[in-house]
Structure 1
Amino acid sequence: MSALDALLAAGRAAAAGLARETVTIRGAAADGFDWDTGTESPGSGELLYTGPARVKAVVGRSHGEEVDAGERNVTLRQYVISVPWDSPAPPERVVPGATVDVNASPDARLVGLRLWVTGVEYGSTATAWRISAEDRS
Structure 2
Amino acid sequence: MTVHEELREPLVSAARAAIGDDLRSLVSFTPDDYEQLYLRSDLDSGADVRRFVEYERLWFGAAGEYGPSELGDYAFTVRAFTDGYVVRVVEADRGAFATTDRMPIAQFSEVATAMRGVLREN
Q: TM-score, normalised by structure 1?
A: 0.27
Q: Which one has a larger percent helix, Structure 1 or Structure 2?
A: 2
Q: Which one has a larger percent strand, Structure 1 or Structure 2?
A: 1
Q: TM-score, normalised by structure 2?
A: 0.30
